[in-house]
Structure formats: structure tokens, C-alpha cells
Structure 1
Amino acid sequence: MKSLPAFGNQPLYQTDLGAAYVADSLDMLKQLPDGSVNLVVTSPPFALLRVKEYGNKDQHEYIDWLSEFGRLVHQKLTDDGSFVIDLGGAYQRGVPVRSLYNYRVLLKFVDELGFHLAEEFFWHNPSKLPSPIEWVNKRKIRVKDSVNTVWWFSKTEWPKSDVTKVLSEYSDRMKKLIKDPSAYYTPSKRPSGHDIGVGFGKDNGGAIPSNLLQISNGEATSKYLKICKELGLSAHPARFPSKLPEFFIKMLTTPGDLVIDIFAGSNTTGYVCELEGRRWLSFEQDHQYLSASVFRFLQNEPIDVIKSLYEELIGNAGAMGTSKKVVPKIQHNLAI
């Protein structure tokens, strides 16, 4: 397996397959060789009206700010590489009218940065709390916002992709059909023009997924949150669920490929990559959040050992020029 790219500064911590850096993603991307990254998957701070503790830009400046990263990502991707970006929706200030910032990001990336929209996805989070409070809870004139847009950008028209790696479980009805096709349908040409033949009842290992990804963002029982709570630390407030990056990592890369998260937060992406055998790099400017992200990679260590490791990491100011800290190798049967 290829080694990880080398940088002028040391990682905050590393594993067998990846490394996490407290650093500005723009600086780190510039150091990478062109055409060396297979996938960038990330969830940047959204362009919300209210300033969040994890950092976010005003809607008016957001598009140009995010485009700085987009230009570099396009340059660093392999020809068959992809850039997957999760963007939440927002309202305009003071009125119950939606902002179009996430769609303007899409248009700018395609029209000006040279990306192709391979496919648009929509992440439905059924556990998302009703918001915004003013329009949904108080005045009750809007429904709750529970869907994020997820743009799958590619460098060329033919990005690396294999949908068979992310097949969905068959419905009970489809399982019965596969078991005895003749009892459920007769091969024929449908009014739509589709020719449904005998091959329709073949077991292909699962169903082709749709571009609507229904993934709950509830991880109340995760080890990461449990340790944060036990040590009295603030968990990252805008984590995305592991199944979201997992879907794209499995579909768009193969073992040994290099995956990067440029807004790593609590490093869900890095952990999923470790489980899936992908090399990974995570960049995050908030030292505390990235230090706490090491909890995802720990297994059965006593809390005093975990606390000591965290204190060592948080004490490495910026992790610039410090020695590497190797975290224990994780087991691939762990759940986030």
C-alpha cells in the first residue's frame, strides 16, 4: 500500500492508514501533489444566519470562501476522483424564504471551477430537530428542514464508481419474488416501454440505492460521545453520521485509495476510512475538536489512559513540529 503524502508539519495523531492534522486545509492542500487524491468528502460549516461555535461564514461571502477550497481540490484530484460535499439548507435573514446559497455553490463549482455534477444526492435526517424555531415552532408556517443537499462532483465525466459496493437490502416483497418469480409477475413489456424479462427476478445481492439517503444522525450511544461526556468535554456540535461518508467511500474508492476530509471536525471520515481500508488525511483548525476525535480510534483503554492521551494531544500546540503520536490500531468490527 502506498505511504501517505509528507507535509512540513507533523500530524496531531496517526494510525496505520491515516493522519489527523491541526491545520488550515488551504495550506495542506497546496502541499499535496497534483492528481494524488481519490476522494474528498466533507461537510463544511454551513452558511447559516447565526454564527456557530464551530465557525461559519455569512451567506454572502460563503460561496467565494468555499470556492477557494474547491479550486485546490480540483487540482489535487486524480482524473477519476470525486469531491462530495454535504451542504445544509438555510433561510434568508428575517423572512421565511429559503436561501439559494447551496445551489449557487453548485453552479459556481461547475461553471467556473471545472467540476462536473456526477449526481445530486439528498440526505434525509429523520432525527433532526424542528428548525428554524421562528417559522416552524412559533408561527408554524413552515415544516421542519430535515434534508441536506449532497453534491457529488467529479473532475471528469467518468469518475471511478461502483454501485455494487453500496447495494441496499431487498424489501421483503422482492425477496419473495426472487425466491419464486413466477408467482409474482409475468415477463412482459410495460406501458412505460420497459421490457421486464425473466432476469428481473435474479438475486444481485441487493437493490440499487436511490439518491435519497435516509440516515439518522442520532449517535447518543457512541463511544466518542460517551468519552467526551465522561471527561467533561464539548463534543463537536455538527457531526455527520458515519453512514454518510461510508456510502461514498465505498462507492467511489477502493482499498488503498487516498481520502481526505478538509473540514474534519470529530474525524468521522478518518475513522470510516480506517475501517474500510482506505488511506486518509483529516484537516481541522480546531485543536480541541480534533484532539477529542482520537476517542473514535480507542478501544478498551481505561479512562485514565484515555484522559492522559487527550491531555498530551491538547498540549501539542497546533501539532506543528511536534513528534508523531500513534494511536492504537483499531479493530474492524467496532461501531462508531
Structure 2
Amino acid sequence: MKPVYKTKHGQLLNAKIEDALQAPPLMAAAGKVNLIMTSPPFPLVRKKKYGNETGQQYVDWLKSLAPRLSDILAEDGSIVIEIGNAWEAGKPVMSTLPLEALLAFKAAANLELCQHVICHNPARLPSPAAWVNVERIRLKDSFTHVWWLAKTSRPRADNRRVLTPYRKDMQRLLSSQKYNAGRRPSGHKISEKGFLTDHGGAIAPNVVDPNSLPEALMRFSNTGWDAGYRRYCAEQGLDPHPARMQSELAAFFIEFLTKPGDLVVDPFAGSNTTGAIAEALGRRWLSVEADAAYAAGSRGRFEATTKTQAAGRDSGAEIR
């Protein structure tokens, strides 16, 4: 199975993940993948161009992939899956399919659920339009569920790598070195020492928001990060992927759960946000995308690299 393109740290394959899992690049990576970071097609009511199962077929399909994806994971590696909300056809009622699919996936591979994270996108357009814009009987759907799973209850992770900037109140406390310590009405006893130590930032919450990223990851802001990709697609006459992963989400988890040189895999690459950010952060990566046009368009995230390849100067980093 030949890659569509290679970069210094990774490669993208044009194939269905079911086939890719039986091909040399991923077979060679069995037991060595440090992070599977992906956003599979959501269980939407209508079929989309990028392909998505619906109803019980979706649950069965995602469940069938769980053992095979778990097999390529390192013992202390993680699987992070973004699954969006779904609605019942023709009714202002939410579907439970995303939760059913997650639970089926977890059980099929006997995985631990390390944490549930929310990916908030305040700039998202109001949806579902019929119930939010027209009838005005529901609220705007502005987040997706992110499920962090692993083979063990203690996969490799370090929240010190994703500290968020201190708020102004905390900055004032650190500056004044004065804090009203003591027992609170809740029963908690707050020590002065713990709150007046500068740890370089605050522990990130389990809500990933583009407005509160760690400073080191602010360069991956979705709007700016996507510009080159969209421009490349326009120049090549290609449709950009309509459901691109938020770059902030990929950057957060790659930094949180891996170290430079680790291997990151995305089985449903789309526009290959995961691969591009893994490249920028010095991680090895391997992405799989079933749609040839979307695979071709994802070159735009590596335009400078692919130009170098065309000149015959690329190192062609292989999965080891």
C-alpha cells in the first residue's frame, strides 16, 4: 500500500481503515502506536459525501473496529475519539447513538474510559437549523464529545504540558503573595502554600476551548491554521473536507498524551489535521483517508514539504 505523500515525520494512505489495518505500514506499527487521535464520521441522520453509517449500522461498524485499533496501540498508549451529537430524523429529539457507539466500542476492546472531554466551538453555525433557526425551540449545538480511552487505567499523560494561562485574579495572588487560606464552608481546607506557588500556568479543564489554549499551542488556532489548506484546495479545484477536526483539539491531546518522536495515528484523517499538527510538534504520524479527493486536498497542509519532495529532497521518514 503506497502512501499518497510523505513528510519528514509521517505519511498518508488512501484506503479504508479496514484495509489499512491489514497492510504493512500499520501492521508494522502494531503495539507501537502511542496515540490514536481521530474523529470518525458522525452518526448523522443523512448520508454525507465523506461517508457515514446511520442507526444500528453505525454502532456495529464502530464496534467492529475497536479490537483491531486496540491491537496497534502501545500498552501505555491512548485512543481519543471525537463523536458529535446526533438527532432523530424529523423530530427535535437527540439520538443516543453516539453514546451507544462509544459504549459498544469500549466494551469490544475492553478499554478503560480515562476521561470525558468536551470540545467547545463557540463559532459553530446554529444547528440543527429546523429546530434552532426556524422554530426556535432548541439551543445551538456548539460542542462535541471527546472520549479518552486506554488499555490501562494509567496511560502515559502529563497535564503540565498543557497548562493554560493564569487568569488575572491568580496573577494578582501570585504577585501579592497574600491569600485568605483556611477552611471553607464546603469543608475543604485550603493551604496558602498551594495557592501561592507559581506552576507556570493553571491545570487545563476538561473543556477544550479555542479561547483558553495553552500559550504554546495558540499558533494552532483553527481559523489561521486552516487558511493555507483552504487556499490549496481552491487552487487545485478540490472541495475542502466539510467536517474538519478542530486543530485546537488535536494539538491539545497530542501535546498532553505524547512526547516528540512518539507515533500518532488517525484512521479517519479527512483533511489530515492530526497529521499536520503531529508534524509541527515533532511526532511521527500515520494517517488513513478513504476518499481520494480529500486525501489529495490534505496535501495543502504540507505544501512546503510536498514541494520539497517533488524536488527529490525529502527524507521520507518511515514508520519504524
> TM-score, normalising length from structure 2?
0.88
SS of match in other structure, 2:223:
coil
Contact 1:228 1:235 in 2 (8 A): yes
The 5 A counterparts of 1:15-94 are 15-31=7-23, 32-33=27-28, 34-94=30-90
Question: 2:210, 2:61 → 1: CA distance?
Answer: 28
Residue in structure 2 matching 1:131, options 101, 119, 127: 127
Question: 1:103, 1:229 → 2: CA distance?
Answer: 36
Contact 1:262 1:283 in 2 (8 A): yes
Distance 1:94 1:127, change over 3 A: same
Distance 1:247 1:218, change over 3 A: closer
For structure 2, list consecutive stretches of 5 or more residues without a partner in the other structure: 212-220
> What residue in structure 2 maps to residue 315 of structure 1?
none
| Pairwise CA distance, 1:264 | 0.4
In angstroms, what is the RMSD of aligned CA positions?
2.4
SS of match in other structure, 1:68:
helix
Residue in structure 2 matching 1:164, options 160, 164, 172: 160
> What residue in structure 2 maps to residue 334 of structure 1?
none
> What residue in structure 1 maps to residue 218 of structure 2?
none
SS of match in other structure, 2:35:
strand
The 5 A counterparts of 1:202-213 are 202-213=197-208
Q: Which amino acid aligns with 1:188?
A: G
> What residue in structure 2 maps to residue 194 of structure 1?
188
The 5 A counterparts of 1:124-273 are 124-182=120-178, 185-199=179-193, 200-215=195-210, 219=223, 222-273=227-278
SS of match in other structure, 2:117:
strand
Question: 1:59, 1:144 → 2: CA distance?
Answer: 23
| Pairwise CA distance, 1:229 | 2.1
Contact 1:298 1:327 in 2 (8 A): no
Contact 2:66 2:106 in 1 (8 A): no
User: Counting helix residues as a fraction of each chain, which structure ranks higher?
Assistant: 2
For structure 1, list consecutive stretches of 5 or more residues without a partner in the other structure: 1-8, 310-323, 330-336
Residue in structure 1 matching 2:285, options 280, 288, 294: 280
Query: How many percent of aligned residue pairs carry the same amino acid?
Result: 42
Question: 2:188, 2:229 → 1: CA distance?
Answer: 48
> TM-score, normalising length from structure 1?
0.84
Question: 1:141, 1:232 → 2: CA distance?
Answer: 39
